Structure 1
Amino acid sequence: MGHHPSADEDFHRLIDSIYESALDVTAMPAALGLFSSYTDTDSPHYLVWDKLSGQARLGVTPHGCFSAQGTHVPEGLHALANLPARTLAVAHAGDGEDEAPWRAPAHGADLEQGIRLLDTAEVCVLMGGTSRDGRQGAGFGGTDASACRSRRLARVLPHWARAARMQQRNFELSGLAALGLAGLDSLDFGVMVLQADMRVRYANIWAEALVQADSQLALENGVLTAHDPNLHVTLHKLLERAMHPRSGEAAAGSWMHITSGGQPVPIIVLPLVARQPVEGPWQLPFAMVLMGNSESRSVLDTSVLTSLFGLSRKESIVAIRLAAGETLNEIAEREFISPHTVRVHIRDILRKTGTHRQSELVRLLHLLPGVALERAGTPRGGRASI
């Protein structure tokens, strides 16, 4: 004879499914199906209602998921948002998971009118369904059907409420992450986040394009590799310095990399420390690698530096040549001035830009936007904050 699952087995299978659905929306229809069977509920609905826009963000039935961005949300789910949904009362009666920190409604009346699992200033998460009057389900029978259903609802619904909070937090974090990544993709220089072993945890569009176009660099199985041994050693040293700076040493480094196409690409490595560090075994040191896009940097002209820092035209030219990797003597030769005069210009540039060393100045110049701010409305000679 086949083995029939007990009520406890059904309950734990349902709870596992509920929390799985909090992490993966596609698992929600299956969870609602198990909920329907376990609580003897017809047509269970789950709805995330956006209060600000007045529309559903997500609607779920045992037959599938519906969203405002994709499939049309059925009218029945929209109607659920207009019902007088009641708040899930939490009494914290006990610490055990099987204890019910919730007042069970008579015959599931609250569920029929919609239960508010989560209510914030922005969203309301509702759940609804109807009882199977006069019908028998697994574990239901005789005159005890109503009381048994109420006990099962009281046992399960607090888990739905907890899962709803988890789900909304995941939605929020995913949305913020998507916005952040979209912003990094809009930059005109490469951004990478690396571990100490050169494993790439993130790369924006420009970083991927720069690596793909350079035969000296490659992304192999998620690891940044340099075919040139000298470049490989240099990158490792820059990462080590950024992640584990020595006493009195700046926790950053830069390197002018000449690509296989002969283009100079500045590589700047900075420490990456979260404002709220992750505690525990998952915390790893990371570094952010900025890879300059030399094509976009070519539009950086003297008016940009004049607008931002009040540099003279000659000072701006000297600064731009420094950013391009030219030495002091090369600048003197190209500009027909003495090396002493170049040093004086560099001293004044450092003072006006608030930097203290040429390496700091070069990093700053590589991060400047490739647009003439004067043409965007900043008056000539004015100072603008970054």
Structure 2
Amino acid sequence: MNGATSATTPTFELQQIDRLLGAIYEGPTETPPWQSALQLLREQLGAAHVTLMLRPPSPDSTGVMINTGPVTRQGIESYETHFFSLDPFVRLPEGEVVTAEELIGRQWLQSAVYLEYLKPLGIRHLLGADIYTKDGIECRLRVTRAHDARPFSDEDKALCRFLLPHLKRSIQLHARLDFLECERSLFAGTVNRMLLGMLSFAQDGSLIETNQEARRILAEKDGIWLSGNTLCVDSSQESRELQRMIRSALADANASPPQDGGETEAASVVEAMSITRPSGRAKLGVLVRAVPLGPWSESKQRPAVVVFLRDPESNAAQPSQELVRRLFGLTRMEAQLALLLAEGYTLDEAAEKMNVRRNTARTHLRSIFCKTGVTRQTMLVRLLLNSVLTLG
């Protein structure tokens, strides 16, 4: 096979190529990624193993490897902790696909990595290629065959060479998706720490996702709960208002976006209301926000509306005293007092909880004022609540 398919390529080969390319581009959505593509390549090449090292091992890290074919935990650990340093395939030129014999000659069969690692595993033939991206990613593709198998042919190498640019593009897509997932997880964790419930709805009004705090609030069924995809509210008047807000937000979100990439007016459409709780507890705060279509949006399962829930009686996890100390330069006792005041305790109540005299607590408070630059207790509480402590 040459570097590209031609009009004379048999149909079954074109079908194989189509399956391989499809699996490569679907690889970033798999767990582990590219498992299907590597398995298809293994079958196509009649290989014992096909391995993709997303992050090659190093003296500081064991790396990340995706393996197909029979492997053992001991074999993987042996490579990650020792034999990676003896791997003859190091920094291969971009797009080059070579066998071990082509790379280092006949002495390959006398090398330590072959005699001590590969041969005991029943591996005789080794094919390798490296992939580099402009973002600094370095991946390694390795293909093996057993002792009783034929050597890798020019056609085998041509197939790998043809697939390499596609695998590289897919790896770049995976890196981008991984970045977005890390960012999403970070923001989702921050929202959870702020005790903000969140539900997202698709364009057709179907529920897509709820976060931990939203599930907690809805599970209590105290004034509001979830029935299928519908938010149900005890008060009929409040229920009608909430459904109106959601329908209005969906209409705004589904409005055609400008093709110049500018923002629509729907981006600023926000409505809010309160939900009465039969238990007598403080009312829940509800905010509905439209998520406008982007200029190139096409998925009908993207969030179109987000509903935020806030329980004013929820108790957020208290920041650690160590964080308060580091942020404001306070002593241990000063940090404890500051946190108690932020929780709503009076100075006398805080002194009692700390088991100190009121005058001692007042002395600590004066020191806190001096270090933080505030002059009143209310200013101190506002400073703490508006600081990065809530993100910890």
TM-score with structure 1 setting the length = 0.58
Mapped contact 2:282–2:313 kept (Cα < 8 A): no
* SS, match of residue 115 in structure 1: strand
Match of 1:74 among 73, 77, 100: 77
Q: Contact 1:115–1:127 at 8 Å: present in 2 too?
A: yes
Distance 1:225 1:18, change over 3 A: same
Checking the alignment, whether the CA contact within 8 Å between 2:20 and 2:41 is kept in structure 1 is yes
Quote the residue 2:324 is aligned against: none
In 2 relative to 1, CA 211–281 (structure 1 residues): closer, same or farther, beyond 3 Å?
A: same
**Counterpart residue number, 1:100:** none
* Deviations 1:307-336 (CA, angstroms, capped at 9, x unpaired): xxxxxxxxxxxxxxxxxxxxxxxxxxxxxx
Offset of residue 46 of structure 1: 0.8
- 1:209 equivalent to 2:216? Answer yes
Aligned partner (choices 140, 143, 152) of residue 129 of structure 1: 143
Corresponding residue number in structure 2 for 1:280 = 297
Q: 2 CA distance for matches of 1:57 and 1:65?
A: 16
- Structure 2 partner of 1:379: 374
Helix, strand or coil for the counterpart of 2:313? helix
* Mapping 1:5-84, distance limit 5 Å: 6-26=12-32, 28-49=34-55, 54-56=60-62, 58-63=64-69, 73-76=76-79, 79-80=83-84, 83-84=89-90
Looking at structure 1, the residues matched to 241 and 369 of structure 2 have their Cα atoms a distance apart, in angstroms, of: 38
Corresponding residue for 1:115?
129
Partners in 2 of 1:193 and 1:380 — Cα distance? 42
CA 1:265–1:196 in structure 2 vs 1: closer, same or farther (change >3 Å)?
Answer: farther
Note if contact 1:118-1:164 (Cα within 8 Å) is conserved in structure 2.
Answer: no
Mapped to 2, the partners of 1:50 and 1:41 lie a distance apart of 21
2:159 is aligned, of 141, 152, 168, to: 152
CA 158–277 in structure 1, closer or farther in 2 if over 3 Å, else same: same
Amino acid at match of 2:160: L
Q: Distance in 2 between the 1:234 and 1:128 partners?
A: 61
What residue ranges of structure 2 are gaps of 5+ in the alignment?
Answer: 1-10, 104-124, 254-263, 317-367, 388-392
| Cα distance in 1 between the residues matched to 2:231 and 2:225 | 6
Paired residue total: 286
1:115: Cα distance to partner?
2.5
Structure 2 distance, partners of 1:52, 1:378, is 49
Give the 3-state SS of the residue equivalent to 1:37 in structure 2. helix
Q: Is the 8 A contact 2:133 2:172 kept in 1?
A: no
Distance verdict in 2 for CA 1:232–1:178, change over 3 Å: same
Task: Quickly say closer, same or farther: Cα 1:239–1:113, change in 2 above 3 A.
Answer: same
What TM-score, normalized to structure 2?
0.57
- Name the counterpart of 1:290: 308
Residues 43-71 of structure 1 show CA distances to partners (whole Å, capped at 9, x for unaligned) of 3221111799942453111148999xxx9
Aligned with 1:25: secondary structure? coil
Secondary structure, aligned partner of 2:283: strand
Unaligned runs of 5+ in 1: 90-102, 138-144, 299-372
Provide the rounded CA distance (Å) in 2 between the counterparts of 1:219 and 1:66.
47
CA contact (8 A) 1:118 1:165 kept: no
| 1:244-263 deviation digits (Å, cap 9, x = unpaired) | 39999x73222221112122
CA contact under 8 A between 1:49 and 1:58: conserved in structure 2? yes
Residue of structure 1 equivalent to 2:271: 253
Secondary structure, counterpart of 2:194 in structure 1? coil
* Closer/same/farther in 2, CA of residues 258 and 377 from structure 1, 3 Å limit: farther
In structure 2, relative to structure 1, the CA distance for the partners of 1:226 and 1:15 (3 Å cut) is: same
Deviations 1:51-108 (CA, angstroms, capped at 9, x unpaired): 99942453111148999xxx9953335655864132434xxxxxxxxxxxxx665899
Deviation at 1:24, TM superposition (A): 0.4
1:229, 1:65 → 2: CA distance? 62
- Partners in 1 of 2:72 and 2:191 — Cα distance? 30
Q: Which residue of 1 aligns with 2:175?
A: 168
Two-structure CA RMSD over aligned residues (Å): 4.6
